[in-house]
Amino acid sequence: MTDPSDTADTTGSASQEPRPAWSRESLVLRLEKVETIEELSRDWAWGGATGEGVRVAIVDSGVDHTHPALEGCVDVDKGVVVELDDEGQAHVVTKEHDDSFGHGTACAGIIHSFAPAARITSVKVLGAALTSTSDIFVAGLRWAVEQGYDVINLSLGSRKRDWALAFHEVCDEAYFKGSFLVTAANNINRVTYPSLFASVTSVASHTGADPWRFHYNPDPPTEFLARGINVEVPWLDHGLLTTTGNSFAAPHISGLAALIRSKHRDLQPFQLKTVLWATANNVQEAQQRGGPVTNPEAAGRFTQSIKLTGALNLSPRSTMSLRSIQQQLAADADQPPSP
């Protein structure tokens, strides 16, 4: 926490102009107190939190705000649709809308199940009337960043390299403005934007069934694994569906991020990511065991280890695929739900 007597220019401006990096007198950046890694427990992170005061944007196919499972958590009047004008330019229009596919409602339901008091806003970029080109994705994402949402869930991506720079800029803007941007990773080893940027938190599925269980993945760009298999979610027509895909893993991390943010308002994205790392099941379990992430039997095959002495041990560099890591972590996974 910064000294309250020194508030000048520490938060950055809302200007669209690039901001310079500059050196400052270190004395004015003195911190009052910081938690040590050992203090970053799940109870510290989100114990007693409900998501109160946190705003979450879901950039997706819309959200059915009338779905009973959402319990009125959607700010209908704030919802927007990205539309193309006659000249093909993307515009963000504030208006009530539905969910074209059920995908956005599913993400909202997962986030709400973690952070019931968080307010959700739908940013519709997918749908029957939308061509959903990359400029629509970027426009929707940029709007959410400009509005300063605490957490932004983006369970979709673009493969177009021409848009990489645009995605990169808006994701960096999110990072510097303090919006925690969570994206779904690709299921196979293919480039998608913005899931491979360091300024976002990219999430894939693990094979466990506990919604509160999530893993740190030491082989980025996918940094966390969360539940994404056979997840019961709200869908169209006020119904429920069982779904599988990384799209549904990402909102698990978004929901946790909303909880953490409601309890620790000052956390910047990199700090929030660190809290997630410290509270990930495999990291917590490694700490308890004082050993590698996986069980000893698997250690020969799973050569990556994490030791919570403050250092990340990545020697030798694993050549295992994300899939292999998922399977290996799943071997440790099935424990009772543990909020």
Can you give the binding site for other proteins, defined by CB under 8 A?
60-61, 87-89, 100-103, 126-133, 135, 155-162, 165-166, 184, 186-188, 190-192, 205, 207, 229-230, 232, 235-247, 323
Minimum CB separation from other proteins for residue 245, in Å? 4
Helix (H) or strand (E) holding 307: strand 305-307
Residue 160 or residue 264: which is nearer to other proteins going by CB? 160
Minimum CB separation from other proteins for residue 279, in Å? 24
Q: What are the DSSP calls for 87-132, one per residue?
A: T--EEEEE-----SSSHHHHHHHHHHHH-TTSEEEEEE--STT---
Cα gap 243→237, rounded to integer Å: 16
Q: What are the DSSP calls for 173-239, one per residue?
A: HHHHHT-EEEEEPPSSS---BTTT-TTSEEEEEES---TT-EEE-SSTTEEEEEE-SSEEEE-GGG-
Helix (H) or strand (E) holding 83: strand 80-84
φ/ψ of 215, rounded to 5, equals -125, 145
Residue 12 or residue 239: which is nearer to other proteins going by CB? 239
Structure tokens at 106: 């599913």
DSSP state of 303: -
Minimum CB separation from other proteins for residue 208, in Å? 11
Residue 102 or residue 292: which is nearer to other proteins going by CB? 102
Minimum CB separation from other proteins for residue 142, in Å? 13
Minimum CB separation from other proteins for residue 168, in Å? 11
The rounded Cα 155 to chain-centroid distance in angstroms is 9
Residue 158 or residue 279: which is nearer to other proteins going by CB? 158
Minimum CB separation from other proteins for residue 213, in Å? 15
φ/ψ of 38, rounded to 5, equals -65, -25
Minimum CB separation from other proteins for residue 35, in Å? 35
Residue from 183, 174, 79, 67 nearest 121 by CA: 79
Structure tokens at 38: 């050992």
Minimum CB separation from other proteins for residue 130, in Å? 7
Cα gap 201→203, rounded to integer Å: 7
Residue 60 or residue 223: which is nearer to other proteins going by CB? 60
Cα gap 210→196, rounded to integer Å: 26
Residue 287 or residue 327: which is nearer to other proteins going by CB? 327
